[in-house]
Structure 1
Amino acid sequence: MFRKTAKAALLAATFALALIGTAEAETLKLGHSTWVGYGPFFIAEEKGFFKEEGVDIQLVTMEDTPAKMAALQAGQIDLVASTVDEFPIYMPPGKMLRYILAVDNSKGGDGIVALKEITKLTDLKGKKVAFETGSVSQFFFDAVIKEAGMSESDVEVVNMTATDAGVAFAARQVDAAVTWEPALSQGANAAHGHLLLSSADKPGLITDVVAVTPETATKHAAELKAFVRAWYRALDFIKTNPDEAIKIMAAGAGGWLADPKVFEDTLRGIEYLDKPMNEKFFGTPEAPGQISQTLGYALQIWSEKGRIQADIKPVDMIDYSFIGG
């Protein structure tokens, strides 16, 4: 009887250890689009920083934003990288998300090009302005004109993608366009155009972050901290090995960024956020940083447009416990 009991206990212990091993080796899937800001993820993968820090990350390119957000809520992927303003749009009631890391900040890569005679935001009143509704371009435009005492009703909105907006401006079909590189520079360099305002003038307004569900934040806290540490190591690698880093990131990103020169040129419009920059951007619960203001703008702007399904406050989504790594 004792031998049977001991054998059963041994089998149970073996099974339990197997389960623990499986849990420890569980792969976390990170969904992201093709974007220069996510390049360091590929360095962390290529150089083994993820594994060395104690986390197994699978990078999954997903260009369809609604599908990506639905997969996150359904638990099909574990992390998603996107802009601060975008996540709340896809959060159904009772399905909160947590921001755990800021990865890059647009620093001139997004902006507004306008006719040369339009020299300030208030000059846009009554003018045709092209941008994609429901996108970060609309958020950026609404946020900056709000500070100028304006709203969308003051302009004639022409809905089109960021690329098409740049083309329309180049063809003088609109008076201004909210777009990003390379269309931004093309419009600014046109004989009839100039750069009215860029994201470099509004730091922290267009920032990519990584978000997870509260369940993932609790269940995989150690792995997420390891993920953050690997991100910081990847940024250190970029500083000490810039040429190799560009090649790794371009190859990893692929698509329109596969050419290292294109990747490097696009990189000039953003900045990667290291640990000190994350600490400043997040701040603390007692003294919130820029992320709280940016998210506040997003919640207000998208709520006014009926895009927010849940009752959310910035404090509900910002998790300060991971940026220390």
Structure 2
Amino acid sequence: MKEYLMNHPRRPSALFTIMLLLLASCAKDEGRTTSAAPAARASLRVAVNPVPQSALVIIAAERGYFARENLDVTVSRFPTGKLAFDAVLGGAADVATVADVPIMYALMSGQAPAVLATIERSGKSVKLLARKDAAIASPADLRGKKVGTFKGSSGEFFLDALLAKHHVPSAEVAIVHLQPPDLVTAITRKDVAAISIFEPHIHNAATVLGSNALVVEDPSVYTEIFNVATTEKALAARQDAFVSFLRALQRAADDIRRDPNGAQASVARFTQLDPNVLREIWPMFQFTITTDRVLPDLLRREADFAVRSGSLPAPSSEPQFERVLKPEVLSKATATP
């Protein structure tokens, strides 16, 4: 009997099968290592002064824009911008919403503040409110009167500049320092003849005084520059996170332009301001995200006042006011990918 050899395919041995499985597994692992790993989420602690000027940060947090930029953000509230920025200087926060004056005090005290961007400007946010029944018809009538303000604030600087413009020596005015809410109480109880402070406190006091209120605004002596600021040390260590932070704020700025009513609703919820009050004062604020080249000169003027008034000692050398601006961060945030 003849034996026929048939060309049937042979079954692979068990060892050969195992080798194939191992090779396939290695190929899959190799493919995974070549794909980009998801970027780690950066965390930022944000100190916020709950006022309308902080709108960009408030909106970005409420609408999830920080998360979209791969940031885990923790927001803490502080009653003033100074206290918010003090938290940054002390290491309890990474970035704060803060006006110009606290930045000046930090720089003059040997700190190294770093302004990431200006997020609001206003020539109408800080005002003088006087009682007409105190015989005040203009700032020139403040001579000999008791005027309240918040020490170390833009209100104090505005008052000094306004007095100088109207040729009233500050020594001829009895200036008392109170917390912002207490200023409203003081003028409505007639403890003071006038107050100099930022909104919404002026609006609140004027509402109570009614026709007895004289409100004075003067952008020529002071325009508020409100910012998001950190320190040079934090910026050097976390620049990528701050770039992402500004990208989120840009989204919020776009929202304000497209839907101001929706933006006001977000800000009212966070600040707990009466929506009607917020609607009235909203036009005073110019929301933006920019590098404000006027800021260094304003800081210089404020420093001169602080030294002249005895709030700060004269510096041994000229402070580097221009150094506070960090335009490169915003440039990276707005660059086209």
State the TM-score, normalized to the length of structure 1.
Answer: 0.76
How many Å separate the matches in 1 of 2:80 and 2:233? 24
1:222 aligns with 2:240: yes
- Select which of 212, 217, 223 maps to 1:192: 212
- Select which of 134, 138, 151 maps to 1:133: 151
Query: For 1:216-255, what aligned pairs fall within 5 Å after superposition?
Result: 216-251=234-269, 253-254=270-271
1:39 aligns with 2:59: no
Distance apart, 1:228 and its partner CA: 1.8
1:295 aligns with 2:282: no
* Comparing 110-119 and 78-87, the one that deviates more: 110-119
How many Å separate the matches in 2 of 1:291 and 1:215? 21
Query: For 1:71-110, what aligned pairs fall within 5 Å after superposition?
Result: 71-90=87-106, 93-110=109-126
After superposing on structure 2, the runs of 4+ consecutive aligned residues of structure 1 that deviate more than 6 Å are none
How many Å separate the matches in 1 of 2:275 and 2:211? 29
Contact 2:147–2:174 (Cα < 8 Å) also in 1: yes
User: Are the structure 2 counterparts of residues 213 and 113 from structure 1 closer, same or farther at C-alpha, using a change threshold of 3 Å?
Assistant: same
Distance apart, 1:223 and its partner CA: 2.4
Aligned identity (percent) is: 20
Greater gyration radius: 2
Contact 2:116–2:229 (Cα < 8 Å) also in 1: yes
Alignment-derived partner of residue 279 in structure 2: 264
How many Å separate the matches in 2 of 1:85 and 1:225? 24
Uncovered stretches (5+) of structure 2, i.e. residues with no partner: 1-32
Distance apart, 1:225 and its partner CA: 2.2
* Comparing 233-242 and 309-318, the one that deviates more: 309-318
Distance apart, 1:94 and its partner CA: 4.2
How many Å separate the matches in 2 of 1:163 and 1:307? 22
How many Å separate the matches in 2 of 1:225 and 1:242? 25
How many Å separate the matches in 2 of 1:191 and 1:260? 23
1:95-119 per-position Cα deviation (integer Å, ceiling 9, x unaligned): 3111121112234333112244534
- CA RMSD for the aligned pairs? 3.2
User: Are the structure 2 counterparts of residues 113 and 249 from structure 1 closer, same or farther at C-alpha, using a change threshold of 3 Å?
Assistant: closer
How many Å separate the matches in 1 of 2:258 and 2:56? 13
User: Are the structure 2 counterparts of residues 232 and 167 from structure 1 closer, same or farther at C-alpha, using a change threshold of 3 Å?
Assistant: same
State the TM-score, normalized to the length of structure 2.
Answer: 0.73
How many Å separate the matches in 2 of 1:247 and 1:167? 27
Q: Secondary structure at the match of 2:327?
A: coil
